[in-house]
Structure 1
């Protein structure tokens, strides 16, 4: 179903073994979706109990394989975003008895492994963050060290970093951490964002209220934004977050509402600025 524009879902997961996998990609494409940024699922949800950085490679390889298959279906293409989910810190500390510093070191090693895939061109960007829920101070501090390590890697690799963090409309401190390490703050992306965000680039969840605010800010203040579903592809949570058809449907709705410039911002201009990708040139 043609929309005459690239349509990018900036953050979703695909699980070819346990979830819909490629069928979700077909659903996305069927209603006009053209491009995907596929983020690896948390390691423990793929049955991987990590002990060292190299253990994350099985998770990354699963994501890269399904991205290759997705690109064969899409009118555009898909890219992998690889990294370590910040919730792993609690799995390690609370469930497996790691000290916070030990958890930090293992998660940073996982990011180092992800960075190797970015360095050799197999992945587009990194994923990191910090817990969006209350944790002890030592765990919070360790998580921030992991996040800062991801930002430093992004600077070294000249790649974007997607972040899973607490809900906030002001993450200027994180943007300052990025700039201090040599990574431009607009290349830091806040996943699951609202329509307004100071600091990083918001990846806005695809509900109409958030998108309306983001579209208004894009067209009046030239503020960049991306759009996502955070589709989790988990058969045990079929109604969790948003489905893979949502972004194309929201693009159609934005067009009906007259937000043409905002569509161009979210699906062409911001992807180019943040990731260095050309969603028009990769169509067809």
Structure 2
């Protein structure tokens, strides 16, 4: 297939050599023109970790970093780890393990503290946090918001981005304001699984054509992602690893070169401080 004359970044996907396709998925991404990946650790329980203290998350983070190193070797660009605690863990802790919301909050914040160690050492690029995308009791919601605010405090301290898993919304200005109150610029707050229109954080747009059309028409900074889950029981979910480079080809065919530059060069630099052109080996 004809090479693309642009970096191509998938801003949010998972890789799981143990239970999924691992580097085979990276190869699919590369063959279609993909160059760079931001790899988010899978939820801890998906990697058989039932955490009881912050240090228990370390095994999840270490496995993700190792996988990212292997992915970088397979790419013409490189991959970076994004580490954190999936907000759905709060329900697992409260509903299945009899944690109080406050105890769940404390454990999840401790896990974020461990993730921050890797960012501080230069071994990870950004943090991941958020709150449940489904209805939960008020006390669990408040605890989840406390966890997210803690992530923003760490992001401010480390001058790094924070990717968020939240409810579907096109207006998260209040959440962006929490980040600013903590000392983070709102552009470094990234809403994963976003639509093409979002107030507040930087949207990481799911790479479906209708969402991308909206993002292009909006003309604001955005990123592109698949949220590929790399689960052998759910092949291709949520979107497959070939999707972002395919959508970039489609966008270029539509004449949207400026939008491609925005999503794959300018916004990654503004949000994460990464240079997707300088890190290309070809």
User: What is residue 230 of structure 1 aligned with on the other side?
Assistant: 227
User: What is residue 261 of structure 1 aligned with on the other side?
Assistant: 258
Secondary structure in 2 matching 1:11: strand
Write out per-residue CA displacement over residues 56-99 of structure 1, whole angstroms, 9 at most, x where no aligned residue: 00000110001000111100000000000000000000010000
Aligned length: 280
Q: What is the 5 A alignment of 1:194-209? A: 194-209=195-210
Structure 2: distance between partners of 1:134 and 1:58: 30
Structure 1 position 239, deviation (Å) = 4.2
Structure 1: distance between partners of 2:10 and 2:153: 26
Q: What is the 5 A alignment of 1:101-250? A: 101-218=102-219, 223-250=220-247
Structure 2: distance between partners of 1:4 and 1:66: 27
Please say if 1:48 is aligned against 2:45.
no
Structure 1 position 240, deviation (Å) = 2.2
TM-score after normalising by structure 2: 0.99
User: What is residue 76 of structure 1 aligned with on the other side?
Assistant: 77
Could you tell me which runs of 5 or more consecutive residues in structure 2 were left unpaired when the two chains were aligned: none
Secondary structure in 2 matching 1:9: strand
Q: In 1, are the aligned partners of 2:23 and 2:71 still within 8 Å (CA)? A: yes
Please say if 1:37 is aligned against 2:38.
yes
Deviation >3 Å, runs of 4+: none
TM-score after normalising by structure 1: 0.98
Secondary structure in 1 matching 2:142: helix
Secondary structure in 1 matching 2:68: helix
Please say if 1:277 is aligned against 2:278.
no
Structure 1 position 40, deviation (Å) = 0.1
Could you tell me which runs of 5 or more consecutive residues in structure 1 were left unpaired when the two chains were aligned: none
Root mean square deviation, CA, Å = 0.5
